[in-house]
């Protein structure tokens, strides 16, 4: 089996790496400290076309595959998890439903400008009392005349405060649990739709996260994406890609933290020699390198499976589980290598350490992923 990237993918990776190091890396610390949506940088990346990585060229996209999207996620995470969270939301969850189910007018007015970075999209399904258990969703949607009325609250919404449009999950029949879920398009300025509290986080602080409130929010019937009751199925169709993407983020963060730690072992001296000479430091280096390479193999194997048109449910869950746990392991080891400087804000290790926690929850917690993996194994 050939795990090498194609020449086109290598060229894309080199271009993305160079671009992000030039325009994002110098601002990464500021994005984290300022704790605000980096609108100027968002617009710059939109002009370069990266938000359309997954979408066809006829609507302004790049027509890229899952492997290419994973490359983008990995390179983004190397420079800034905050910005990576914003960009990947725009590329996938925030725009996928309107691409698959939106009508021509909605696509022209919202999707195409979103690909150009002129509009911001996001998705809202997490609730205060509903995380992994989507069947317990309390946000309701009921038919009223020639439209729907939404009522409920959503929490942990990436870019929620600045989004121009939101893909909202709601139940049309709570008794049916997952089979009662539907997705709807809600635009900024719709009566009854408002932004609630901002959530202050220790991780990915430049990725502004908020509560969204729907209080008798009325939308037209054409804002229903697909069919009632099939929302969970529609989400399942992109869930493996979401998990592979997050695995790419974990991989990129681990690689960046490891590179910083490796450099430090050669620069820092103790007892008259670089600390890289000490066996216990070498043990850390070996452990990190091995787990990072294993994460790369799992992540890109899952992406390859997706590109072959296969579901890759188990493999995507394994990649997300292993790569994000590896990121947490690596950043912990790197802060230990730095010693007290590992918690000093003047060094990137401190930011890496905080940001790694962000990756453990979205797309399924490690505990949920283990349940999924075991379930898939028991089917075999």
pLDDT in tens, 137-186: 999 999 999 999 999 999 999 999 999 999 999 999 999 999 999 999 99
* pLDDT, mean over the chain: 96
State the DSSP string of 331-379. HHHHHHHHGGGGG-TTSHHHHHHHHHHHTTTTTS-HHHHHHHHHHHHHH
pLDDT in tens, 16-62: 999 999 999 999 999 999 888 999 999 999 999 999 999 999 999 99
Residue 200 shares a structural domain with residue 238 = no
Residue 107 shares a structural domain with residue 239 = no
- Please indicate, yes or no, if residue 322 is contained in any of the structural domains: yes
Residue-range definition of the domain harbouring residue 28: 7-115
Residue 268 shares a structural domain with residue 371 = yes
Beta bridge partners of 130: 127
Residues 10-21 have a mean pLDDT of: 97
- Please indicate, yes or no, if residue 26 is contained in any of the structural domains: yes
Question: pLDDT value at position 132?
Answer: 81
State the DSSP string of 91-117. HTTTTHHHHHH--HHHIIIIIHHHHTT
Residue 208 shares a structural domain with residue 268 = no
Residue 345 shares a structural domain with residue 236 = yes
Assign 378 to helix, strand or coil: helix
Residues 256-285 have a mean pLDDT of: 97
CATH number at residue 149: 2.40.110.10
Cα–Cα nearest to 124, from 84, 152, 148, 83: 152
CATH number at residue 352: 1.20.140.10
Question: pLDDT value at position 129?
Answer: 82
Q: How confident is the model at residue 1 (pLDDT cuts 50, 70, 90)?
A: low
Among 185, 207, 229, give the residue marking a domain's end.
229
Whole-model pTM: value is 0.96
2 has a pLDDT exceeding 80: no
Which range, of 3-12, 179-188, 318-327, 346-355, averages the lowest pLDDT?
Answer: 3-12
Residue 202 shares a structural domain with residue 279 = no
pLDDT in tens, 302-331: 999 999 999 899 999 999 999 999 999 999
366 has a pLDDT exceeding 70: yes
Question: pLDDT value at position 8?
Answer: 94
Residue 335 shares a structural domain with residue 321 = yes
Among 175, 199, 229, give the residue marking a domain's end.
229
The secondary structure element, H or E, covering residue 149 is: strand 147-158
133 has a pLDDT exceeding 90: no
Residue 222 shares a structural domain with residue 357 = no
206 has a pLDDT exceeding 80: yes
């Amino acid at each position: 089996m050939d795990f090498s990237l194609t020449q086109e993918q290598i060229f894309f990776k080199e271009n993305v790496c160079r671009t992000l190091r030039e325009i994002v890396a110098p601002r990464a610390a500021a994005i984290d400290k300022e704790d605000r949506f980096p609108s100027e940088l968002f617009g710059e990346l939109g002009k370069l076309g990266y938000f359309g990585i997954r979408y066809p060229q006829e609507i302004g996209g790049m027509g890229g595959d899952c492997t290419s999207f994973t490359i983008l996620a990995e390179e983004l995470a190397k420079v800034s998890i905050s910005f990576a969270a914003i960009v990947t939301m725009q590329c996938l969850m925030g725009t996928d439903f309107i691409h698959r189910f939106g009508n021509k007018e909605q696509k022209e007015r919202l999707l195409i400008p979103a690909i150009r970075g002129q509009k911001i999209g996001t998705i809202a399904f997490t609730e205060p009392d509903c995380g992994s258990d989507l069947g317990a969703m309390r946000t309701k949607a009921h038919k009223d005349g020639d439209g729907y009325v939404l009522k409920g609250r959503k929490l942990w919404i990436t870019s929620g405060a600045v989004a121009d449009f939101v893909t909202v999950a709601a139940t049309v029949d709570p008794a049916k649990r997952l089979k009662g879920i539907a997705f709807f398009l809600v635009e900024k300025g719709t009566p009854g739709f408002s932004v609630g509290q901002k959530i202050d986080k220790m991780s990915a602080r430049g990725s502004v996260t908020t509560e969204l409130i729907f209080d008798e929010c009325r939308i037209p019937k054409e804002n229903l994406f697909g069919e009632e009751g099939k929302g969970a199925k529609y989400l399942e169709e992109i869930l493996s890609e979401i998990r592979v993407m997050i695995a790419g983020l974990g991989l990129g963060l681990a690689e960046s933290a490891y590179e910083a730690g490796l450099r430090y072992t050669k620069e820092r001296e103790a007892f008259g020699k670089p600390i890289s000479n000490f066996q216990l430091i070498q043990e850390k280096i070996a452990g990190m390198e091995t787990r990072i390479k294993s994460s790369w193999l799992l992540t890109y194997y899952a992406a390859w499976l997706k590109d072959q048109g296969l579901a890759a449910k188990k493999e995507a869950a394994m990649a997300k589980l292993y790569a994000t746990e590896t990121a947490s392991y690596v950043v912990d080891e790197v802060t230990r290598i730095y010693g007290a400087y590992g918690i000093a804000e003047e060094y990137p290790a401190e930011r890496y350490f905080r940001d790694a926690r962000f990756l453990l929850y979205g797309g399924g917690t490690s505990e949920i992923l283990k349940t999924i993996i075991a379930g898939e194994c028991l089917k075999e």
